[in-house]
Amino acid sequence: MIQAKNLTKIFTSGEQRIVALDNLTFSVPEGQFLTVTGKSGSGKSTLLYQLGLLDLPSSGEVLIDGVDMVPVSENERTMTRLNDLGYIFQDYAIIPSLTALENTVVPLLMQGYPLPEAEEKAKKALIRVGLGDRMNNLPSQLSGGQQQRVAIARAIGHSPKIIFADEPTANLDSETSDQVIQTFIDLNKEGQTIVMVTHEPEYAKLAHRTITMADGKVLSDVMNKK
Amino acid sequence: MADRTRIENSFSQNIKVGWYLAKRDVKRANIWTTALIVLVMTFTFLNLVVVSGILIGLIQGSEDAQKKYAIGDIVISSFLDHAFIEQSPKVADIARTIPGFKDETVRYSGSAKVESDYRKTLAPGQIADGAGGSFLGIDPVEEEKFSGVSKFIIRGQYLTPEDQDSVLIGKNLLYEFTPIDAPGFQTLKNVSIGSRIRITVGNNQKEYYVKGIVSSKVDVFDTSVIGLASEVRKMTGRTDLNASSIAIQLVPGTDPIAAKQFLLASGVGSYARVQTADEAFPKFLQDIKTTFAILGNAISGIGLIVASITIFIVIFVNAITRRRFIGILKGIGINRRAILYSYMFQALMYALIGVTIGMLLVFVIIKPYFTAHPINFPFSDGILVATVSGTFLRAGILMVTTIIAGYIPARIVIKQNTLSAILGR
């Protein structure tokens, strides 16, 4: 389970002070598919970065399985990201010099798996996202949708506790977007906890729960009907 | 859920991931960029090895020639306050019993004045065409066996045991080869093959025909008039067989220090000085060698700094342009040390490839070439001195320097904020 307690993030630029997250408190139980929506600048991506331990809040707590990850060392946060969290970014964020398989293998190697075992797990993840026949392709040889699926395979390869997705369909056509969302739904059905930021209301509705943000605050927090 | 939780990032894991990333980065890097970096590494390595190697080789060539043709592995010479080695025949006999003895040559010498136009009537104040040198007496057969001196005859012919009225003359005594006009230092201007010259040693004078001109880059021959041993003994007024020096060659692999100890233990030290070749080389040669080594190392050091800067820039540009991907790697939980190692491995790979190519060039092409075609230096035939241990040491220095040059820029970029790197802020 992941919890945000009084989470606040303030950006300062000279004398200007922007409150990106304003004292947010909520929790995401294990196995939930949560979507975060809101207009540009509402703070949804900032929220994702704090929950995903990619950034430090100005104040408040981020608890993963009851452990506050804010005061821990950078090394511990890196290890938590490696072992417990998975990320999917808007622009895929895969390494261009590595093939689809290698991109998926790297976090597994870092976790200590021997190369053959890491490759085996990576292959399973790539097959899972429908890229079994493109494993040895470099990102430049893949379409946008395929690159995003490599990112998903990388995120799920090490079976993380929580997957964070930051507008994963923003750069994809509607057909590919549907496939990506369907992949998330399938993963969630298997018990995967997912936190996804999206602009698309129709995708937001497909999750268990939707938080809508405005000006760094939770405007609404609703459970979606299935 | 994760089936492997809270795994500590060990050193070996960081190395493994670093190597995995580096190998693929180098493999998929632009071929021309890689070629350029490797070229810089190769030239830096050559600069490290060849520049100092040639500078030292100029002196080493001279020492090698001295050893091979003049003083051998061991040289027995008269005490500084004596003109000859007492009991020379006995000493020569003892020398032949050295374990590992190969050959020896007995030489006689005396300071001589050499004149060419002594028959001409000189005007008042006019100086005769003459030169000062050494009158070196040899057994032509034994000397040839020892040093092969006949191959240094550039004009005329070598001596035979019957050439009592003929001499060879070293090129340093001839103006044609050593055009020096300094006051007090003269060389002979009008001497060629067949010329008559007059040699004066003390109160003894005799005329000789010039039978050959010697150019060996070995002082003992090039600054001497060389005649039969019997002639030199006569001219120096010796009635015994006491020689000025006995040069000894040992079978390759024989320890010259052990040979010297043998001679001293046999009592030779009572009659003469016994020196190994290294001890007998003039000190100035060693001084020049040291100076050249310092000079070579200084030049190499500058090359090393340039290479370090090149690698620094290459890795820095590489890391800066991949700043976002470094951020992503950190974001997905790759330890920053693993990323750092990947850049250090890249730098090491470039250095390793460059050094390997450089070593092949040194040992397969450059060194054999200089051995076959030495640099024609006035006082030596310069070779390339590149020992295996010295070359590996330089290779090690280059690789360590390169790793450091790769580490610093990578660390600067990797230290930056993860999210800022991912978002390109």
pLDDT tens readout for residues B38-77? 998 898 889 888 888 888 888 888 888 888 999 999 999 9
Looking at chain A, which residue has its C-alpha nearest residue B415?
Answer: A74
Strand residues in B96-182 grouped as ranges (E): 101-115, 130-138, 153-156, 166-170
SS3 (DSSP) at B134: strand
CB distance B20–A105 less than 8 Å? yes
pLDDT band at residue B3, thresholds of 50, 70 and 90? Answer: very low
Nearest CB to B333; choose among A82, A93, A112: A82
Query: Which of A53, A64, A97, A105 is the mutation pick for testing B, counting most B CBs within 10 A?
Result: A97
> Residues A141, A29: contact at Cβ < 8 Å?
no
ipTM: 0.91
Distances (CA, A) of A68 to A4, A10, A145, B334, B386: 9, 19, 35, 21, 62
CB contact under 8 A, A82 and B325: no
Does the pLDDT of residue B183 top 80, yes or no? Answer: no
Identify any residues that bridge with B207 across adjacent strands, giving them in sequence order: B198
A56: nearest CA in chain B? B419
Choose among A55, A81, A83: nearest Cβ to B7: A83
CA B72 to chain centre: 17
Which whole-number Å values give the CA distances from B290 to A189, B57, B68, B228, B393, in the listed order?
78, 12, 22, 38, 18
Quick one: closest CA in A to B335, which residue?
A78
B331 neighbourhood in chain A, CB within 8 Å: 54, 81, 87, 93
For residue A58, what are the contacts with CB-CB under 8 A and spacing of at least 6?
A8, A9, A10
Q: How far is B12 from chain A (nearest CA, A)?
A: 9
- What's the pLDDT tens digit per position in A143-192? 988 998 899 999 988 889 899 999 888 888 888 888 889 988 998 998 89
State the Cα–Cα distance between residues A37 and A45, nearest whole angstrom: 9
Asked if B225 and B168 touch (Cβ cutoff 8 Å), the reply is yes
CA distance A110 to chain B (A): 6
Q: Per residue in B194-246, pLDDT tens?
A: 999 999 998 899 999 999 999 988 888 999 999 999 999 999 988 888 899 99
How far off is chain B from A2, nearest CA to CA, in Å? 14
- Overall residue count recorded for chain A in this entry: 226
d(CA B215, CA B177): 9
Has this prediction a pTM greater than 0.90? no
Dig out the tokens for B274 from the structure: 């016994």
For residue B6, name the pLDDT band (cuts at 50, 70, 90): very low
Q: Between chains, do B332 and A97 touch, taking CB under 8 Å as contact?
A: no
Of the candidates B1, B20, B419, which has its C-beta nearest A54's C-beta? B419
* Closest residue to B9, CB basis, from A89, A110, A115: A110
